Structure 1
Amino acid sequence: MGQPRRKEKEKQDSPSEATPRQEPTAGSAWVKPEGLSRRGWAVLVGLILFIQFPLIHHVLFRAEAEATTTVPYTQDFSDSSVVKRDFFTVGGYWRVLGGELLAPGVKNNPLWLQAPLPDDVAIEFDVRSELPEGDIRVEVFGNGVDPSSGYVLVQGGWNNSSSAIARLDMNAPLMEALKRRAARKAESQGDTAQAVDVASVFKDDTRVRVEAKGTPVQAGRTYHWRIERRATLLRWYIDGELFLELDDPRPLKGQGHDRLGLSGFESQIFYDNLRVDTPDRMPAKLAPAAAVIPAGPYADDFNRDTLGDAWNVTNAAATRLVDGALVVEQLHNRPVWLKRPLPRDAVIEFDAWTDDPQGDIKVEAWGDGRSFYAGDLRLQYTATGYVFIFGGWKNTQSVIARRSEHTPDRVARDGASVVPGKRHHFKLTRRGATLAWELDGQPFLTLQDPSPLEGARNQYFGFSGWQTRVHFDNLKIEPLAP
């Protein structure tokens, strides 16, 4: 059959005469197109309500979180089915891996233990972060569904710079702000009492936190946490030492505030050996109090066979004494810490040398005296104090860095520095916020720190290093007069 001719095709394609197309005329008013009928709107609304029913029910008729287990509770995560059986979460690929519970970048979606907590509780577990971001989070007395519905404990948060106990909001105002408000209220009422009554301004929905700055998480290091509450006092211990505490005059408890949630954000965190009970049935095992060693003058010429008790060696296989000098090689940022504390203002002098043309002589000062790197060697290390690097990056740059040697706030000097085989003399001086480095009798670098590291967690010196074989000798520490 042949194709239709042009005129016949145009006739076939033209609109029917029964339904003529209405062409708008110039100047005619716009007419709103016909919308959904009442029945159509009813169907649409019904469909939306059907799809969103779980969320609407959760918001309007929120019930107590389901309980599938009880306290006392013990879990070593040897059984992978425990995540679905004993816990609940709204997000994150929580799973058991190698006998540990893995939180792989869970974006603040807690894994809630489905057991009501007693008002007075003790919680213990082991935890480590495999990435330098740190940011270990745990929530207690939450509602079992929503993050920040209870007390949030954060170790190494805020770019691994600080730790906190936060009530109802991780970024809540500090306790000091609440105390100032209580003081203003007392003053307005003519109360001249010395003690500030924080309870006078505390409400059920008060958001507040206490924090510890300069407390980074060391990647790869396993920490032992204990969280304990008795009455109004919530205490947090790390490795047997009291770390932070919050006294809450209106403690969160009861339905809606009775769940434990393990959490995290972007880091890769492993939890293990979880135990939950009452403080009386699970008493704390605190670390023995360390002998108090006064800060003051110190000298060491390393002219002996062993380092002895004066030093905390975090990588024994990479540390030894050779011909009256301390020698480190393949240390991988695991310092040899001096146990004697540093004065805040002090002069540190020593000799250092290497035969390796790649240089890389490193020490850490005003650190915590015990931390070391134990993570993936391809990742960067976050120190606890000030890091002095001479001829780093294959002898191309020297720096003074505040905790992280890769951040923009460090001070740097480019160019080859280390002379292979030469004994270089270091002199490090600190006065308050100013750190000055002299090398071989000449000024070398200076760092001004607007938020200086100081206090009990920042008063130790350590010889450090990465791969290079480095010799250290003739250490002298002298306090500076006020």
Structure 2
Amino acid sequence: MGQARRKEKEKQESPPEPSAGQEPLAQGAWVKPEGLSRRGWAVLVGLILVIQFPLIHYALFRGDAEVTATIPYTQDFSDPGVVTRDFFTTGGYWRVIQGELLAPGVKNNPLWLQAPLPDDVAVELDVRSELPEGDIRVELFGNGVDPASGYVLMQGGQNNSVSAIARLDLNAPTLDALQRRAQRKAESSGGAADIASVFKDDTRVKVEARGTPVQAGRTYHWRIERRGTLLRWSIDGELFLELDDPRPLKGPGNDRLGLSGFESQIFWDNLRVDTPDRLPAKVAAATPAIPPGPYADDFERDTLGDAWNVTNPAATKIVDGALVVEQLHNRPVWLKRPLPRDAVIEFDAWTDSPQGDIKVEAWGDGRSFYAGDLRLQYTATGYVFIFGGWKNTQSAIARKSEHTPDRVTRDGAAVVPGKRHHFKVTRRGDTLAWELDGQPFLTLKDATPLEGSRNQYFGFSGWQTRVHFDNLKIEPLAP
């Protein structure tokens, strides 16, 4: 009985006989399974159509974006239901938390206000990023669904290094490139250069600013205003960027406001949308101007006092009549009195550490500091003077960034542990000259000097090393 059952099993497992003209199959060879029948394919296609019908219908038959809100519009985000009532998005877990709108890494999925914008518009809002990525975005005159369908205003993009107003594409050519095209066209035709001659309805272009990173945890007040062809963007009451568009985006399909971001965690509040005439820019109450220099400080006291803006109090103190910083991490101690445009700055500085790394910043904005990931680079707002940086191997004068090729450097050990070094920095016109201990040390010439209200402050800075500063003296230079 057992032998008979074994033969039946072998017969059942034996491969089928090959048909005429076919080679016999090798034992154990792979056999291609039969594919779907026509009916099977029809069922599969039908399932796909059913599942994707909403998107297909939207792509083929979509009309104008819905309207559930009106202009003028004011929102303090005290009601969590406002997200679904007044806004629309295709993705991202947008939600209200403790009276603020949260965008938690929404991956460029804007939250669109479902209200048509007037051609001339003013938008005001408060916004902050809690992560060092920055990358705060607002989209204006978009279509209410697709990102980059209007103007994109981005603060702190590309690893928190670039801000921009972009028309239709954040990767668009710059306005300078478009102006050069207009110039070449004018030269070939013998006419006058006019950017409108190379501008079309679908032209992609941007204006940008570098060296203006978003500080994590800081709340910024934005105002965006368009009148006619001119789009202007101000931050904290100061004009930041503007774009004059000879073919302004407007009307159905280009009449929506969107809030957006990418990987950062962004909080929004106090949104207001109206016409520029009904929502005029607020003029801050005038404060008595502090005249630039001269100034002197010997730090012979217990605390710094009101003359200084300390951005890292835990790392700053006065010890034995000197300002001492340690683990400051590029959070300067800013002098509130502005610097003269041309001036001489003198002070003493020393450290007991063989690591060196004595640092100051001059002609910065008087308030910025680094608050991001300590593994990333810091972009200053002024000129940075580094003595014995990079473990006491190099000194430098840098324009905003310590790591770009346009800095001037001097290699070799510099800081002598325990020695009081005397610094003297002189700025006249486009030239900064640094003398150390009575001898010329480094010189930087800047073809586009940092100046104006954003670049007129001095700060003691540093990274990790414990450094002492004393005997600061600032004197204006005669014209």
Q: TM-score range by the shorter chain?
A: 0.7 to 0.9
Deviation of the 1:175 alpha carbon? 1.7
Q: Sort the Cα spacing of 1:303 and 1:384 in 2 relative to 1 into closer, same or farther, 3 A.
A: closer
Contact 2:295/2:474 (8 A) holds in 1: yes
Residues 301-316 of structure 1 mapped to structure 2, 5 A cutoff: 301-302=297-298, 313-315=309-311
The aligned amino acid for 1:103 is A
How far apart, in 2, do the equivalents of 1:386 and 1:379 lie?
A: 19
CA distance in 2, matches of 1:178, 1:289: 39
Match of residue 475 from structure 1: 473
Q: Is the 8 A contact 1:214 1:453 kept in 2?
A: no
Does structure 1 conserve the Cα–Cα contact (< 8 Å) formed by 2:211 and 2:379?
no
- Give the structure 2 partner of residue 64 of structure 1: 64
TM-score by length of 2: 0.79
- Provide, for residues 38-57 of structure 1, a one-character-per-residue CA deviation record: whole Å limited to 9, x for no partner: 54444443333333323322
- Take 1:14 and 1:475, find their aligned partners in 2: how far apart are those partners? 100
Residue 239 of structure 1 and its aligned partner are, at CA, apart by 0.6
Q: Which residue does the alignment assign to 1:261?
A: 258
Q: 1:480 to 1:168 in 2, by over 3 A?
A: farther
Q: Report matched runs for 1:268-283 at 5 Å.
A: 268-283=265-280
| Structure-to-structure mapping, 1:218-233, within 5 angstroms | 218-233=215-230
- Pairwise CA distance, 1:361: 3.6
CA distance in 2, matches of 1:221, 1:164: 19
Q: Where does residue 454 of structure 1 map in the other structure?
A: 450
- Is the contact made by 1:144 and 1:260 (CA closer than 8 Å) also made in structure 2? yes
**Contact 1:367–1:384 (CA under 8 A) maintained in structure 2:** yes
Structure 1: distance between partners of 2:105 and 2:375: 19
The one of 235, 241, 265 aligned to 1:244: 241
Single out whichever of 334-343 and 206-215 deviates more from structure 2.
334-343
Q: Is the 8 A contact 1:220 1:373 kept in 2?
A: no
| Alignment correspondent of 1:340 | 338
Residue 52 of structure 1 aligns to a residue whose secondary structure is: helix
SS at 2:54 equivalent: helix
Q: Greater shift after overlay, 199-208 or 382-391?
A: 382-391
1:252 maps to amino acid: L
Q: Deviations over 1:276-316 (max 9, x none)?
A: 22222221013467888998x8552447879899x552449
Q: SS of the counterpart of 1:211?
A: strand
Distance 2:188 2:12 in 1: 90
Report what 1:14 is aligned to: 14
Equivalent position SS for 1:251? coil
Check conservation: 1:390, 1:418, Cα contact below 8 A: no
Unaligned residue ranges in structure 1 (runs of 5+): 27-31
Contact 1:337 1:369 in 2 (8 A): yes
Q: 2:165 aligns to what SS in structure 1?
A: strand
Name the CA distance, whole Å, in 2 between partners of 1:210 and 1:90: 28
The CA deviation at 1:187 is 4.0
Report the Cα distance in structure 1 between the residues aligned to 2:269 and 2:154, rounded to whole angstroms.
17
Preserved CA contact (<8 Å) 1:160 1:217:
yes
Q: Say if 1:398 and 1:417, in contact at 8 Å, map to a contact too.
A: no
* CA distance, structure 2, for counterparts of residue 243 and residue 355 of structure 1: 42
Correspondence for 1:353 among 342, 350, 353 = 350
Q: SS of 2:200's equivalent?
A: coil
Give the drift of 1:77: 2.4
* Matching of residue 214 in structure 1 with residue 229 in structure 2: no
| Aligned match of 2:78 | 78
Which residue in the other structure is 1:143 paired with?
A: 143
Aligned to 2:51: 51
Structure 1 distance, partners of 2:101, 2:476, is 47
Q: Is the 8 A contact 1:129 1:270 kept in 2?
A: yes
| Cα 1:267/1:34, change in 2 over 3 Å | closer
Q: SS at 2:152's partner residue?
A: strand
- What is the identity, as a one-letter code, of the residue corresponding to 2:282? K
The 2-side partners of 1:430 and 1:245 are apart by 30
1:424-445 alpha-carbon deviations (Å, 9 max, x no partner): 2224567999977654356777
1:96–1:389 Cα change, 3 Å: farther
Aligned pair partner of 2:23 in 15, 22, 25: 25
Distance 1:154 1:453 in 2: 25
State whether residues 222 and 233 of structure 2, in contact with CA within 8 Å, keep that contact through their aligned partners in structure 1.
yes
Could you say if the C-alpha distance between residues 473 and 190 of structure 1 is closer, same or farther in structure 2, counting changes exceeding 3 Å? same
- Aligned-residue offset at 1:227: 0.8
Q: 1:9 to 1:244 in 2, by over 3 A?
A: closer
Q: Secondary structure at the match of 2:473?
A: strand
Given that 2:363 and 2:451 are in contact with CA atoms closer than 8 Å, whether structure 1 keeps it comes out as: no
SS state at 2:173 partner: coil
Q: Which residue of 2 aligns with 1:29?
A: none
State the match for 1:97 in structure 2.
97
- Partner amino acid, structure 2, of 1:25: E
1:106 is paired with a residue of what secondary structure? coil
> Could you give the per-residue CA deviations for residues 150-192 of structure 1, whole angstroms, max 9, x where no partner exists?
1111112233223211111112122222223333444444335
> Could you list the runs of 5+ residues in structure 2 that have no partner in the other structure?
25-31
Question: Take 1:161 and 1:20, find their aligned partners in 2: how far apart are those partners?
Answer: 69
Q: Separation in 1 of the partners of 2:144 and 2:406?
A: 40
- Contact 1:312/1:370 (<8 A) preserved: no
CA distance in 1, matches of 2:11, 2:54: 56
**Percent of pairs with identical residues:** 73
2:296 aligns with 300
Give the drift of 1:87. Answer: 2.1
* Contact 2:322–2:468 under 8 Å retained in 1: no
Q: For residue 198 of structure 1, report the CA deviation from its aligned partner.
A: 2.4
Structure 1 residues 67 and 371: alpha-carbon distance in aligned structure 2, compared to 1, 3 A threshold: same
Change (3 A) 1:438 1:290: same
The separation in 2 between residues aligned to 1:176 and 1:474, in whole angstroms, is: 42
Counterparts of 2:217 and 2:171, CA distance in 1: 26
Map of 1:424 onto structure 2: 421
| Cα pair distance change 1:357/1:290, threshold 3 Å | farther
For 1:124-139, what aligned pairs fall within 5 Å after superposition? 124-139=124-139
Structure 1 stretch 117-126 or stretch 365-374: which is displaced more?
A: 365-374
Alignment of 1:357-368 (within 5 A): 361-368=358-365
Q: Which residue of 1 aligns with 2:118?
A: 118
Partners of 2:176 and 2:58 in 1: CA distance: 36
The one-letter code sitting in structure 1 at the alignment partner of 2:309 is V
- 1:336 alignment partner, SS class: strand
Report deviation, 1:238.
0.7
Q: Conserved in 2, the CA contact under 8 Å of 1:92 and 1:103? A: yes
Q: Which amino acid aligns with 1:224?
A: H
Deviation at 1:139, TM superposition (A): 0.7
Look up the equivalent residue of 1:87 and give its one-letter code: F
